[in-house]
Structure 1
């Protein structure tokens, strides 16, 4: 039986930059801080890092998968997972994000789930696109 308490957000964003530039925006701390949050990210499986998130403080993360220019997966707090997939599309990159692990029975998780889909789609990923395109 499927677990209906947990939910995911999926976002699809075209970025007019090659996968290498998008990868850099996801994995270089100085670029990550420009579009999302300061943090000591590194694309090395097992790397533990923190993102400094407004309203959440220092959020612990751990890299689970890192396939350069194709896929980056890391935990975000103790229950969520961010999966970033990069797909070449023309002269740009199709970025597919899945933010999973929201426990809809938990008040804070439910509130985050209800607002983060719009935030990823309308604010955060468009800023990532701007940073990656500017780096090209």
Structure 2
């Protein structure tokens, strides 16, 4: 079995779990902070995330616990093994006195993919900035 690594990003948002859950599971909101998509909140649903950079991620919903956990595959086929990725993204929401702690873990980076895992860590932090801005605009 090949050893894999994970990227984890956590941030507390001053909003209730239900509001974050909507942003994580409604396609038009996902498109605002992450990527264009055809997501549906159903275990087994296969969907794509389409990046502005022209790439497409093949995904499948693995787990849904409303307002608690969302997990899906995050697969990107690439000719360069450094960027060919088979991973799982898991969001965990934990209520806090000030709102919600959102934890994102992307697991499945091979040891020979330091650029991909480093890019993911940077990218998720940027995505969380966009998510924060979206949450501020939502009712």
Q: Over residues 71-117 of structure 1, what are the superposed CA-to-partner deviations in whole Å (9 max), with x where a residue is unaligned? A: 00000116110000001112411000001101122xxx432112221
> What are the equivalent positions in structure 2 for 1:83-102 lying under 5 Å apart?
83-102=90-109
Aligned partner of 2:82 in structure 1 is: none
Residues 1:117 and 2:121 aligned together: yes
Which ranges of structure 1 fall in alignment gaps of 5 or more residues? none
Matched ranges for 1:48-87 at <5 A: 48-55=46-53, 57-77=55-75, 79-87=86-94
Q: Deviating runs (4+, > 2 A) in structure 1? A: none
TM-score by length of 2: 0.85
SS of 1:79's partner is strand
Partner of 2:134: 131
C-alpha RMSD over aligned residues: 1.7
Instruction: State the distance in 1 between where 2:5 and 2:67 align.
Output: 27
Alpha-carbon contact 1:73-1:82 (below 8 Å) kept? yes
Offset at 1:56? Answer: 5.7
Find 1:38's aligned residue among 11, 36, 39.
36
Query: 2:11: which partner in 1?
Result: 13
| Contact 1:14–1:92 (CA under 8 A) maintained in structure 2 | yes
Cα distance in 1, alignment partners of residues 91 and 51 from structure 2: 19
Higher-helix-fraction structure: 1
Query: Unaligned regions of 5+ residues in structure 2, if any?
Result: 76-84
